[in-house]
Every structure is written in structure tokens, then in C-alpha cells.
Amino acid sequence: MATFLYKIGRMSFRRRHFVALIWVALLTLAGVGAASAPAAGNSSFSIPGTEAQKAFDLLEQRFPGTSADGATARVVFKAPSGEKMTDPGNKATVQDTVKELSDGSEVVRVTDPYQAKAVSKDGTVAYAQVSYKVSGMELEDSSRDALEDSAQHARKAGLTVEIGGDALQTVPHTGTTEIIGIAVAAVVLVITFGSLIAAGLPLLTALVGVGIGVSTITALAGALDLGSTTSTLAMMIGLAVGIDYALFIVSRYRAELAEGRDREEAAGRAVGTAGSAVVFAGLTVVIALVGLSVVNIPMLTKMGVAAAGTVAIAVLIALTMIPALLGYAGRRVKPAGEKGKLLGRSKKQEKPAKRNLGTRWASFVVRRPVAVLLLGVIGLGAAAVPAASLELGLPDDGAQPTSTTQRRAYDLLSEGFGPGFNGPLMVVVDAQDSDDPKAAFTQVGDEIKGLKDVVTVTPPAPNKAGDTATITVIPDSKPSSVATEDLVHSIRDKGAGIKADSDANVLVTGQTAMNIDVSEKLNDALIPYLVLVVGLAFLLLIVVFRSILVPLKAALGFLLSVMAALGAVVAVFQWGWLADLMGVEQTGPVMSMMPIFMVGVVFGLAMDYEVFLVTRMREAYVHGEKAGQAVVTGFRHGARVVTAAAVIMMAVFAGFIGSSESMVKMIGFGLAIAVFFDAFIVRMAIVPAVLALLGRKAWWLPRWLDRALPNVDVEGEGLRTDTDRGDQDRELVRA
């Protein structure tokens, strides 16, 4: 591996014009494809195997043209103080608005509040429901504009009007904090390298990689049914790992220059050694992201595969484009230990080099491993305590900021009709095999009325064939509550008895039921996913480190950091700690996708630091150093760079905390805090403490397994031999 990558590094350095031309051509091609491709809509959202999805599919068959999974909007009206919605003037305004809403080309139907009895008991609140042919993010701008214009006309007539539902759903924006994250990354790189040129290379290559990845996703969005949100994860992960991978290559290149090697040789060795770590670190991230497919949620699978593709591009750029750009930079990239003009004179320091902070810290840990280990484990354990109170759910309009019309509509409906009105359940009764469909429909309605937490049950609405009917159930509790979840399960339990009595199938669907099914599906998939991803990465790390205990320690450390990160997410987004600082306006259940998403992404990123830091230790150990000294050597060479990489990754992820979308905000915070815990507590404290306690046993591998495993030579031992032989040959030629 090291020898092969060494040759790639030297070739890229020599043929820099050719390599740069290829990457510029790929970026241009992807950009042209993205510019000419039609705008991406929302990826078709389906959850195979869930009852809610089966009900949606059945509705499409038995109620053709109703667009059961299309976007909906609830236009909520509130009368001025002292008036009622039944007053003639207010009633006329609402009916004019309903007529205006019905004119849209994408509108399927609009319900009149007065005919549908959608007026509150006190007469102050009413609502009209608008159903569309397509999903919220596929709606044309003209349909959204017409919806908002109709509401504005009613406001001018004196009514308070707000709009809820997913019809106003748009692509989330991340805000200016994302730019701040990139700026922080640039500052960290300048401090790390002491040179604008050296600092600019990782940023440039990361932006090129993300540009190619995101543009390709945009170009293929229509053909592969990729939603407009798919690129968010790809950009988040691609930018972070792209900077980090390039950072490690450039740092190793400067270290090789400091040892007296010429620039082409240094580029080859940097790619051969640090590049090997980049390849395996990238593989762990790819495994974690592609492994999201085991959840069997198509949207999540596409997001994972798209992000994995962007990571693969980042690896290839680090191995080829970075050495090419180093060739262009020439002497402007200084050896390690020399300061550029930005931070000092461009000459080597004549004083003996002091022990850096990484060396001093590692020496302390090696002397006090038990104390450091206990402190790290106890600290992460304390941070993980809130995770015991984790409540999962999917966000609804109640999680929106109070400044949005969706949230205000949600509050108005709760005020006028009760909190459960925001999450109606649709019960689909399939009586095709029943001898008496009408009796089956009536039986289902009567059974549901007797359940706890039910406010309203509408009469059955059969289709033209009379073999299928829908019943709307209004819960007493809000959509994201445990009581509503229990009600869904109770209806399904009743359905099993009805099936035995009348041969009619009872299915519960609607947005609330779909959210509950998705949460359960994600929870059920968490353990298999964890076993798959950690298991594959464990085998990969055995090959890299040729050790059993080091990969085991890496996996256990990851579990500590991800549990602590989940605890922090619960504390902020569920309990409300530091909510104002994070811009969290509404606390509630943690997004059900968060645990499995964090396991996938954080595991891949955690293994990055494990590979980068521990391969340096392994390299020192293989080259003859004692186990304890190898830990110190690894920190001397790698701690500064790993610290910079972690700060950069935290800055990039933290930039997404400024997003307008609560899901993206939560993901950004969760990943940023997870990187902090994993890089600075697990990898920088617990890992060296454990290795110091294990000593030589850390690198133990059974002989039979040693013979069976392929020798990937991440340490560059074969590279050292090949290079030495080449040096001898050149000396003979000169002689």
C-alpha cells in the first residue's frame, strides 16, 4: 500500500499539470451538468414495510386521484376580538379565500370550514384544508405564492390568518455561521502551518472536492430521485474530511522536508505514509455512510451513498491533487520547524527545538495512565447521563420557531380545537374480503370511539366501489406525545380483532402515524447497524494496526463519545439547557433519526483520528521504539495536526447550527460536540492512557492471524527499504 501510494504521490508531483487539468475538467463537467439539470425537488419519501406506507399505497389504488401523500396546507383563520368566524362579514371573507385557493393548477381540493364543520366551539377559529397533487418541496413557487397571497387578502379584511402544513416547506438554509465555520478553519490552518500558501491548499482542495460532489448530486438528482436536501449531508461531511485529509498530507510533507528530503521525494513519502492513513480513514467513513442502507429508508440510503461518494472524492483529491499543488507551491511551503514570512523569518530556528505540547501531554499520560483514564471515562459518563431520558420523535410544526407562520397556525389550531388537531390519524379500512363492508366500517368507528385519548371520530368515507373507507381520528394529545403513539398502537391492536371478526383490514396512516413508524423502524435498525458498521471497521482496523486490542479499544472509545454526544443533544434540545445560545426556540423529542445518524457519521470520523494518531505510534513501535515511547512519539508528530483537524471539523459542523431547519441544527450541534468528545477526551486522553497500561500487549496479534492477514504496510516499512535501495543505486551511478 505505502509503496503504491508513494509512486502515485511522486507521479502527481511530476505530472502536476496533467493532474490539475483532470480535476479542473471534472469540476467543470460536474458544474455544467448541475447548471443544465432541472431543479431538484424533494426525494419521494417512502418507508417500505411500515403500516403507514402500506395504507398510503392502498389509498392510491382504491381512491385514485386523491394524492394521499401530496402536500397539505391548513389555512387557519381567527376572528378579531369580540367577533366570531360565523359573523356574515368574516364568513364571506373565508368563502372568498376558499374560492381563490381552489383556482391553483396543483390543487386537488379545498375544504370549506362551514361545510366541513371546521369551526371551533367558541366560534373564534376556523380552518380550510388545501390538498395538492405533489409533495411540499415539489410545489411550484407559483402555488406557494398563491397560497400566501390568499392569506394576505384575508388579513387585509381584518382576520388573523396563518398557514400550517408542509405546503410551505422549502430547502433549509444554513445561514452565515457556515461561512464563519470555514473562516475558523482557515485561521486554524494558518496558525498550524504559519503560511498562507500551505494553509490555503487544504481549503482549496476541500472546496474542489465538495464542488464536484455536490454538483454531481445536483446533476443526477432527477435521474436518481435525489432530493434537494441530499447535498446538505454531502457538503457537511465532504468539507470536513476534505480539509482534514489534505491537512494530514501537507503536514507529513513538511515533516519529510524537515528531514532533508527533496520536494518530489517528500511528496511521495507523504502520500505513501499519511496517504495510507487517509485511505483507511476514508474507508471507515464510507462504510459507516453506506451502511445506512440497512435501515431500508430510501431517502436515508441515498443521503448516505451521496455523502460516501463525496468522501471518496476527498480521498482521491488528497492523494493526487495535493502533491500536484505542492509541486506548484515549490519553496513557498516551508519544512516543519521553519516559519514563513507571515509568522516570522523564513529560516530555521537555530535554538534546539523545545518539546511541544503534544509531547509533554503524552509524557504526562504515560506517567499517570490510571488517573487520566478514570477522569476521561467518568467525565464522558457524566455527559452521557441525560441520554437515559432520551425521547425520540420526528419534528412537526410545533417544533418550528414562533416567528414562523407554521408555528403560529399550529398554536391557533391547538387553541381552537385542542392539541391533537394538529396530528389527525387516518384509519383506512380495507373491507374487500368482508361479507358486509358497511358493517365493518361501522364496527371500526365504534371500536375507536371507545379508546382512551380520542376526541373525535368522523363517519366512514367509502370509495366508489364501497370496499374501502377512511376514518379520521382526532387524538386528545399533541402529535409528538407518548399518548398519541399509544393511541396508534391501540387502534392497530383493535384492528387485529376486527380482522378476525369481519375479514376487514384496519391500517393507520397519516403524517403522525408515519412519523411513529419511522421512529420505530430506526430504533429497530440501530443495533443491526451498529453491529455491521463497527464489525466491518473492526476487521479493517485489525488489518491496519495488526492488533486485536487496539481496534477493540477504538470501538469502545467510540461508544463512550457517541453516548456523551447524545447526552449533550438531549440536554440542549430536549431539556433546554443553553437553548437560547443555540437558537433553540422549542424543546421537544430528539429527532428519531439522530441516534443512528450519529452512530454512522461519528464512528467514521472517530476512526479518522484513531487511524491518524495511532498509525504514527504503530510506525514508531515497528521501527524499534518501546511501547511507551512510541505513544509519546506518535503525539510529538501527530497531536498538533489532529488537534487542528478536530477544531476545523468542529468549526465546519458548528456552522450548521445556524440553519433555519431544526433537523440540520441538531445534526450540526451533535456532530460538533461528538468530535470534541472523541478527539480531545477519547483519542487524546483515553487512548494513550490505555496504550500505556497495555504496553507491548497492545500490539499483540495471534501468529496464525498475522500470517492470514494481508500486509498493507501503513507504517511505510517497505517504502523505507525501497527508498534506501534507490539511494544506494544513485550513489553507485555517481561513482
Hey, CA dihedral for 42, 46, 52, 58, is it positive or negative?
Answer: positive
The one-letter amino acid at 540 = L
Residue 323 has pLDDT above 90, yes or no: yes
pLDDT band at 727 (very low <50, low <70, confident <90, very high): very low
For the segment 364-384, the average pLDDT, to the nearest whole number, is 93
Note the pLDDT tens digit of each residue in 233-291. 788 788 878 888 888 899 889 888 888 888 998 899 889 888 888 888 888 888 888 88
Residue 208 has pLDDT above 80, yes or no: yes
pLDDT: which is higher, 70 or 621: 621
pLDDT band at 173 (very low <50, low <70, confident <90, very high): low
Q: 424 and 473 in contact (C-beta within 8 Å)?
A: yes
pLDDT band at 615 (very low <50, low <70, confident <90, very high): confident
Query: DSSP string of 515-531?
Result: HHHHHHHHHHHHHHHHH
Closest CA to 689 of 334, 379, 262, 305: 379
SS3 656: helix
Q: What pLDDT shows up at residue 26?
A: 93
Residue 347 has pLDDT above 50, yes or no: no
Residue 224 has pLDDT above 80, yes or no: no
Q: What pLDDT shows up at residue 475?
A: 92
Q: 278 and 304 in contact (C-beta within 8 Å)?
A: no
Residue 681 has pLDDT above 90, yes or no: yes
Bridge partner residues of 107 (DSSP): 132
Range from 62-71, 189-198, 221-230, 407-416 that averages highest in pLDDT:
407-416
First to last CA, the chain: 33
Strands 160-165 and 72-78, by their bridges, are antiparallel
Q: What pLDDT shows up at residue 501?
A: 82
H or E stretch covering 192: helix 177-193
Residue 723 has pLDDT above 50, yes or no: no
For the segment 374-385, the average pLDDT, to the nearest whole number, is 94
Query: DSSP string of 140-169?
Result: -HHHHHHHHHHHHHHHHTT-EEEEEESTT-
Residue 487 has pLDDT above 90, yes or no: yes
Between the alpha carbon of residue 490 and those of residues 275, 487, 495, 606, the distances in Å are: 56, 5, 9, 42
Q: What pLDDT shows up at residue 219?
A: 83
pTM: 0.77
For 110-135, give the secondary structure using H, E and C.
ECCCCCCCCECCCCCEEEEEEEECCC
Range from 214-223, 640-649, 681-690, 711-720 that averages highest in pLDDT:
681-690
Q: Cell 392539541 belongs to which residue?
A: 419
Note the pLDDT tens digit of each residue in 527-571. 888 888 888 878 888 888 888 998 888 888 888 998 999 999 999
List alpha helices for 194-297, DSSP H: 196-224, 230-258, 263-290
Residue 43 has pLDDT above 60, yes or no: no
Within a 13 Å sphere around the CA of 581, how many CA atoms are in the beta-carbon half?
A: 7
Q: 136 and 166 in contact (C-beta within 8 Å)?
A: yes
Closest CA to 52 of 436, 510, 464: 510
Q: What pLDDT shows up at residue 176?
A: 55
Residue 440 has pLDDT above 60, yes or no: yes
The one-letter amino acid at 30 = A
Residue 583 has pLDDT above 80, yes or no: no
Note the pLDDT tens digit of each residue in 652-667. 788 778 776 677 788 8
Closest CA to 144 of 86, 200, 101: 101
Note the pLDDT tens digit of each residue in 286-299. 888 888 888 888 87
Q: What pLDDT shows up at residue 496?
A: 85
Share of the chain above pLDDT 70, in %: 89
Rounded to 10 deg, the angle between the 549-569 and 662-676 helix axes is 140
Strands 590-591 and 392-393, by their bridges, are parallel
Rounded distance between C-alpha atoms, residue 408 and residue 80, angstroms: 16
Computed over every residue of the chain, the mean pLDDT equals 83
Rounded distance between C-alpha atoms, residue 590 and residue 593, angstroms: 8
Within a 13 Å sphere around the CA of 207, how many CA atoms are in the beta-carbon half?
A: 10
Neighbours of 411 (CB within 10 A): 18
Q: What pLDDT shows up at residue 65?
A: 66
Neighbours of 573 (CB within 10 A): 25
For the segment 447-469, the average pLDDT, to the nearest whole number, is 89
pLDDT: which is higher, 399 or 679: 679
The one-letter amino acid at 686 = I
Note the pLDDT tens digit of each residue in 398-421. 777 777 888 899 899 999 988 888
pLDDT: which is higher, 594 or 715: 594
Radius of gyration of the chain (CA): 30
Residue 466 gets the label, from left (phi > 0), alpha (psi -120 to 50) or beta, of left
SS3 455: strand
Cβ-based burial of 585 (10 A; exposed 0-12, middle 13-18, buried ≥19): middle
For the segment 161-180, the average pLDDT, to the nearest whole number, is 69
Closest CA to 560 of 358, 316, 382, 414: 382
* DSSP type of residue 709: S
